[in-house]
Structure 1
Amino acid sequence: MLQFKRFSRLTYNLPVRDLPQLGISRSSNFAFCLFATLATIGANPLFAQDVESPDPHPLKTADTSSPRATLTSFLETFDEVHRRFYGEGRRFRSDATRRALSARATRCLDLRDVPESVRYNVGREAAVCLKEVLDRIELPPEDDWPDAEQVATEELTRWTIPDTEITIARVNEGPHEGEFLFTPATVERAVDFYTIVKDLPYQDKEMVTPYMIQFYLAEPGWMLPRPWIRALPSWARARWFGQAVWQWVALILTLVAALGLMLTIYVFGRRRAHVFRSNVMRYLITIAFPVAAMLVPLAAVYFIGEQIRVSGTVLLVVGFSLRLVFFFALIVVLLGAGNRIAALVIATPWIQPRGLDAQFVRLVSRVASIVAAIIVFLEGGQRFGIPLSTLLASAGVGGLAVALAAQDTLKNVFGSVMITLDKPYRVGERIVTKGYDGLVEEIGLRSTKIRLLNGHQASIPNEEMARSDIENIGRRPYIRRAATIEMPSFTPVAKINRALEIVRDALQDHEGMKEDFPPRVYLRDINPASIGILVIYWYHPPDYWEYLAFSEKLNLQLMQQFEAEHIPFAKRTLTVEMSDTGKQGVAQGESDEV
């Protein structure tokens, strides 16, 4: 924040003698100075040919092998900017070249201590301020600037321009290790240095680029025609709290338009989504419009900084706020997109909306969106200057608090994960668990809903379902029936044999039989009160109502044939024995349904 405060004083400290010709007052704010430098001025025929010609070395970078190389590259880059663009102004066709030269100039600065979110702006401002200082002070002869040979011979690690605090030092760590760059302290104090020398005249020497800051503050971007701004009345071009009046008006209008555009896109997207009958188009619309609304703050940042050319603290505050809105909107969009993408996948015909696969898709999408949101949070925090260790510690503390507060919910979520992976049941299957018998109606993140056979609905937490014994009736490949036909114990053997023949003939190639599961009929029980014939058969497929209809038809057929053959069924018996003491004992009789 110290750097922000110092840079915010830049546009308040322009030389008084330079202001009248530009319509700039002493209260001017700063911002985006280097890019202003690289992107100023209207159209000048004298420079048209130079501007039209492409840069033969667009990937050329600054030579930072020694203090002399760094300082020379720095001065030559600004000289090229002044030569190529001083008379052109900010035009779209030269935007790429200006940006390349901007990057080459800021490449000479050590910006490690500047937060990434404002590094671009602060670097350009510091570069322009340093260039203004170097143009106003007397530099030692170029031969006295340490070169690579002197650095190697004397093991030089830093060099300070005589009679100044402007220092170029070797970087000892990071991606620029071994390079000689203007130190972070020099970058931080660049505005202070400019404030001290702002009233000094420019030196009469090579590669001096006068009045670049002033032209930056007075010129709009390429989207706003320069003649329009110059045609405004003097009061509209007067500086007020660091900005021209027209800039304040354009800033307010841009912010209002950005907010209105975000709301319009969001509301319009929600309304248009209901017009489409197709679920796929509806979900695509609900994703596309929030994404478009999310990008509006970035467009506003570009327009305010590069076209309206708002500067100083105003730009830092507005840019910071809009980028913060963008990051929060991005997190919200990511969290919402997880649900939309899951719904989009589930809308496909091969996934059952209330099935386990749909639940798995929802779970994976939700986890993926949360992970993406966390990554954006960590990355965004770093860009705003918050150390990664602090972000991780905050996320850890917050995660622990959430885990303690919602441990039951988390248990159910993990239970749903286990159910999703193990798949003990699906929607529509009949299960028996914890005393409940019914059809699975829905599998949610928290619970499983079962429609009981009596019509009631039971909701069981997934944490309990994951550790319960579950009998899945819906997955049985067949329905097996085992019954005992009982006849009185005095039934003749001939009639018993006849009864076995009748039952076996009735089940021969019966309905729902598979070759691998032939029926079984045997004389099994011989009791004092009855004789039992064991009957076992399997019905395919496991359609319960079809099975009952077949069983009813079989029962009636057996009863008719037994009655025709005069084969009786055993009746329920009850034997009462009287003891000598008068107590009664009851012997249970046996019966079975056919």
Structure 2
Amino acid sequence: MARLIVGVVATLFAFGSATAWPQAASVEESHPLRATDTSSPRATLKTFLSSVHEVYQGFSQEGRSFESEAERSALGARILRCLDLSEVAESVHDGVGRETAACLKEVLDRIELGPEDTWPDTKQVDEGGLSKWAISDTEIIIQRVKEGPREGEFLFSPETVDRAADFYVLVKDLPYKERQSITPGLYQLYLSEPGWLLPRSLVQGLPAWAHVRLLGQAVWQWAGLVLTTGVSLVLMSVIYYFGRWRTSHLRPNWLRYLVMLVCPLTAMLIPLAALYFLEQHIRISGTALLVVSYLSWLIFLLTLMVVLLGAGNYLAALIIATPWVQPHGLDSQWVRLVCRVGSILAAIIVFLEGGQQFGIPLTTLVASAGVCGLAVALAAQDTLKNVFGSIMVTLDKPFQVGDRIVAKGYDGIVEEIGLRSTKLRLLTGHQVSIPNDDMSRCDIENISRRPHIRGVAKIQLPSDTPTAKVKRAVQIVRDALHDHEGMEETYPPRVFLRDVNESSTGIVLFYWYHPANYWAYLAFTEGLNLQVMEQFEAERIPFASPALTVHLPDSEESGIDMRSER
């Protein structure tokens, strides 16, 4: 991922070269598509010497220009392919590789290499089983790579790469050998020659004190480092401020979220652009380059992780803003959860990939992430229980926002279903929050999903009421309920003479009101009761005491919702 982003940055700035090494020959002369020959120590050494010499010729004559930089990337990559950089962090491969190549070439130009025919070739490697070769009387080693994508190739060993600068310090006072391919002053040119963005004449025209080297860098390079760092910090702050505070007035929301996402993305690319400028044009090197590279990549990776975490929230907000998602429903919570989990996973991938860029083994990163994950899981046991409870509520869907339910003894309207708890607005007006872990395990009565309201009533007549009047009373009730309002054919009313005892005679009636509109049901019940009472009074049918008992549905006895029926 990091390599891809670096490639994008390089393309955007039209810098796109794998290395800053120039070359004298044209693209056609150097065969940029030709594979690097590292089949033997001889092939590797010849490739390295000739490629660096070709770089030096063009560099010393032309300097750096935009056109030459674009043409020289293939040759620079060929030089780096002669070095085993497997033990160097990927984030500083190019910088370390170029400085190592310059040091090695300076060393090789000052020592005896022996006749070329004494360098082991492919035939000698195959016949003798050679896996390592040291240049005569030195510790500069070219050895076969044992594993990895470059297995079998002969490269300058990781130890040689690590000690190249030390080798140069030991031999820098020795004279150059009389050899056709020597590159006098290469290392100094590498350290002090600016990139194509800075005019060569401008740097060379600076006063002598600006070229004095302090801690491995020229004074003008230190000034460029400080100035570039300051400008980068200012740009990042301005972009962050604009994306954070200046977008609140933008409409529609998707545009605001888009700008809030693009601004951090732009800001996080600034450290890489600054690193490229410092490395390729200011030409800082050595420890300063390592420190700047690590800090730039660290800022980039941390910013990228923050952007990914924020992107999950913005994406969730965009999805929830669509008309088919309830803002306070469980679906919206799951949109937030999925987007958040996705952004966290992306941040973890960036963390693992970024760790490898810094040279930290993947096993160490995975172990660290596992330990952190276990610690978080132990610290958040109750929260995780509620999250899993919300999963069960999602799968079962016993209620949704707007439903009236009875759960754990609470009767109210569901106002919000969150990842941790469900909020109910009780019929008394109070709000109660019930953990989702409890909601997934308790009995839930969903009143809003009833298809009808059942009415049950009992009419008591005196025990000495004549049989004819008892029959008439039953018929009056049946006539009153015949094809009544809210009746469906599958739920006809039922009226029976059920109780006959010494104190009274009881008539029981059942009816079902459709749909389950409680206020309409009460209005119908009121009309039914008045009609029965008027008929009984006209027929002179007395009521026993208590004369009429009406049983309202149990779910309505705990309170009355004064809002409109849902």
Which has the higher mean CA deviation after the structures are superposed, 313-322 or 230-239?
230-239
Match of 1:365 in 2: 339
CA contact (8 A) 1:442 1:448 kept: yes
Is 1:297 the counterpart of 2:274? The answer is: no
Residue in 1 aligned with 2:5? Answer: none
Counterpart selection for 2:472 from 480, 492, 498:
498
Residue pair 2:30, 2:75 contacting (<8 A) in 1 also = no
User: Do the aligned residues in 1 keep the contact of 2:102 with 2:190 (CA within 8 Å)?
Assistant: no
Q: Deviations over 1:295-331 (max 9, x none)?
A: 2211211121112212221121122112111111122
Shift of 1:188: 1.2
Counterpart Cα distance in 1 of 2:32 and 2:483:
87
Within the candidate set 526, 533, 536, 2:507 is matched to 533
Aligned counterparts, 1:135-146, within 5 A: 135-146=109-120
Residue 452 of structure 1 deviates from its aligned partner by 0.7
**Once structures 1 and 2 are overlaid, which stretch shifts more, 119-128 or 498-507?**
498-507
Which has the larger displacement, 344-353 or 128-137?
Answer: 128-137
Per-residue CA distance 1:34-62 (angstroms, 9 max, x = gap): 945x149xxxxxx6xx55x5577433331
Kindly state the Cα deviation for residue 278 of structure 1 after the two structures are TM-superposed.
2.2
Deviations 1:111-132 (A, max 9, x none): 2222222222212221221122
Structure 1 counterpart SS, 2:434: strand
* C-alpha distance in structure 2 between counterparts of 1:475 and 1:58, whole Å: 73
Q: Which of 547, 557, 565 lines up with 2:521 in the alignment?
A: 547
Q: Give the secondary structure class of the aligned counterpart of 2:425.
A: strand
Following superposition, the deviation at residue 437 of structure 1 comes to 0.7
Aligned CA distance change for structure 1 residues 212 and 439 (closer, same or farther; 3 Å): same
Q: Which moved more, 1:242-251 or 1:146-155?
A: 242-251
State the partner residue of 1:133: 107
2:391 corresponds in structure 1 to 417
What is the distance in 2 between the residues matched to 1:57 and 1:476? 80
Task: Please list the CA deviations of residues 184-211 of structure 1 after superposition, one character each: whole Å capped at 9, or x if unmatched.
Answer: 1111111122112212233222333332
Partner of 1:81: 55
Q: CA deviation at 1:268?
A: 0.9
User: 1:170-197 CA distances to partner (integer Å, 9 max, x unpaired)?
Assistant: 1111111111111111111111221122
Question: In structure 2, what is the Cα distance between the partners aligned to 1:299 and 1:354?
Answer: 43
Sort the Cα spacing of 1:450 and 1:147 in 2 relative to 1 into closer, same or farther, 3 A: same
Checking the alignment, whether the CA contact within 8 Å between 1:55 and 1:97 is kept in structure 2 is no
Letter in 2 for 1:521: V
Residue 370 of structure 2, aligned match among 386, 392, 396: 396
In 2 relative to 1, CA 556–165 (structure 1 residues): closer, same or farther, beyond 3 Å?
same
For residue 63 of structure 1, the aligned residue among 37, 40, 45 is: 37
Given candidates 56, 71, 79, the residue that maps to 1:105 is: 79
Q: 1:214 aligns with which of 184, 188, 192?
A: 188
Residues 410, 426 of structure 2: 8 Å contact kept: yes
- Greater relative contact order (Cα < 8 A, sep 6+): 1
In structure 1, C-alpha distance between the alignment counterparts of 2:399 and 2:345, rounded to whole Å: 29
Equivalent residue number for residue 379 of structure 2: 405
1:475 aligns with 2:449: yes
- What is the identity, as a one-letter code, of the residue corresponding to 1:482? V
SS at match of 1:536: strand
Match of 1:169 in 2: 143
Mapped to 2, the partners of 1:301 and 1:378 lie a distance apart of: 22
How many correspondences in the alignment?
Answer: 535
2:543 alignment partner in structure 1: 569
Listed as ranges, the matches of 1:516-527 within 5 Å are 516-527=490-501
CA RMSD of aligned residues (A): 2.4
Contact 1:486 1:592 in 2 (8 A): no
Q: Deviations over 1:380-437 (max 9, x none)?
A: 2222122222222322332233233332222222222322333222121111111111
> Following TM superposition, by how much is the alpha carbon of 1:85 offset from its aligned partner in structure 2, in angstroms?
4.4
516-525 or 458-467: which moved more? 516-525
Measure the CA separation in 2 of the matches of 1:464 and 1:96.
Answer: 65
CA distance in 2, matches of 1:54, 1:234: 40
Relative to structure 1, is the Cα distance of residues 279 and 514 closer, same or farther in structure 2, using a 3 angstrom cutoff? farther
The answer to whether the 8 Å contact 2:390/2:436 transfers is yes
The aligned runs of 1:155-554 (5 Å cut-off) are 155-554=129-528
SS of corresponding position for 1:480: strand
Measured at CA, do residues 480 and 54 of structure 1 come closer, stay the same or move farther in structure 2, by a change above 3 Å? farther
Deviation per CA, 1:58-88, whole angstroms, max 9, x where unpaired?
A: 3333111111121122223223323444423
C-alpha distance 168-489 of structure 1, shift in aligned 2 (>3 A):
same
Between the aligned partners of 2:171 and 2:22, the Cα distance in structure 1 is 24
How far, CA to CA, are the matches of 1:329 and 1:76 in structure 2? 42
Change (3 A) 1:95 1:514: farther
Opposite residue 378 of structure 1, the aligned amino acid is: L
- Compute the displacement of 1:350 (Å): 1.1
> Deviation digits for residues 350-386 of structure 1, max 9, x if unmatched?
1111101001111111211222222222222222122
CA gap of 1:511–1:177, structure 2 versus 1, over 3 A, is same
Q: Which amino acid aligns with 1:199?
A: D
Spell out, residue by residue over 1:489-547, the C-alpha distance to the aligned partner (whole angstroms, 9 max, x if none).
33344434434443334334433333433333334343443333333333333222222
Are the structure 2 counterparts of residues 566 and 116 from structure 1 closer, same or farther at C-alpha, using a change threshold of 3 Å? same
Cα distance in 2 for residues equivalent to 1:39 and 1:421: 63
Separation in structure 2 between the aligned mates of residue 195 and residue 73 of structure 1, nearest angstrom: 24
Letter matched to residue 331 of structure 2: D
How many Å separate the matches in 2 of 1:189 and 1:512? 94
Shift of 1:458: 0.9
**Is the contact between residue 22 and residue 58 of structure 2 (CA under 8 Å) also seen in structure 1?**
no
Aligned position for 1:586? none
Kept in 1, the 8 Å contact 2:456–2:551? The answer is no
Distance 1:533 1:273 in 2: 72
1:272/1:285 contact within 8 Å kept: no
**Compared CA separation, residues 448 and 146, structure 1 to 2 (3 A):** same
Specify whether residues 39 and 432 from structure 1 end up closer, same or farther in structure 2 by C-alpha distance, changes over 3 A only: same
> 1:570·1:591 contact (CA, 8 Å) conserved in 2?
no
Q: Does 1:121 align with 2:95?
A: yes
> Residues of 1 paired with 2:244 and 2:80: CA distance?
44
Q: Secondary structure at the match of 1:136?
A: coil
Which AA in structure 2 matches 1:454?
Answer: T
Corresponding residue for residue 24 of structure 1: none
Deviates more, 1:461-470 or 1:222-231: 222-231
Q: TM-score, normalised by structure 1?
A: 0.84
The 3-state SS of whatever aligns with 1:87 is: helix
Letter in 2 for 1:182: F
2:476 partner letter: I
Unaligned runs of at least 5 residues, structure 2: 1-17, 553-566
8 Å contact 2:95–2:279 — kept in the other structure? no
Give 3-state SS (helix, strand or coil) of 1:189's partner.
Answer: helix
Q: 1:512 to 1:104 in 2, by over 3 A?
A: farther
Contact 1:117–1:384, Cα closer than 8 Å, also in 2: yes
Q: Deviations over 1:463-511 (max 9, x none)?
A: 2222212112222232222333333333344434434443334334433
Q: Give yes or no for contact 1:571–1:591 (8 Å, CA) kept in 2.
A: no
Secondary structure of the structure 2 residue equivalent to 1:498: helix
1:149 and 2:158 aligned: no
Structure 1 stretches lacking a partner, 5+ long: 1-33, 41-46, 574-589
CA distance in structure 2 between the aligned counterparts of 1:593 and 1:133, rounded to whole angstroms: 104
Change in Cα spacing, 1:492 to 1:207, as seen in structure 2 (3 Å) is farther
Amino acid at match of 1:372: A
TM-score (norm 2): 0.88
Q: Percent identity?
A: 63
Counterparts in 2 of 1:397 and 1:593: CA distance versus 1, 3 Å: closer
Q: Residues 482 and 56 from structure 1, CA distance in 2 versus in 1: closer, same or farther, beyond 3 angstroms?
A: farther
Could you tell me which residue of structure 2 aligns to residue 8 of structure 1?
none
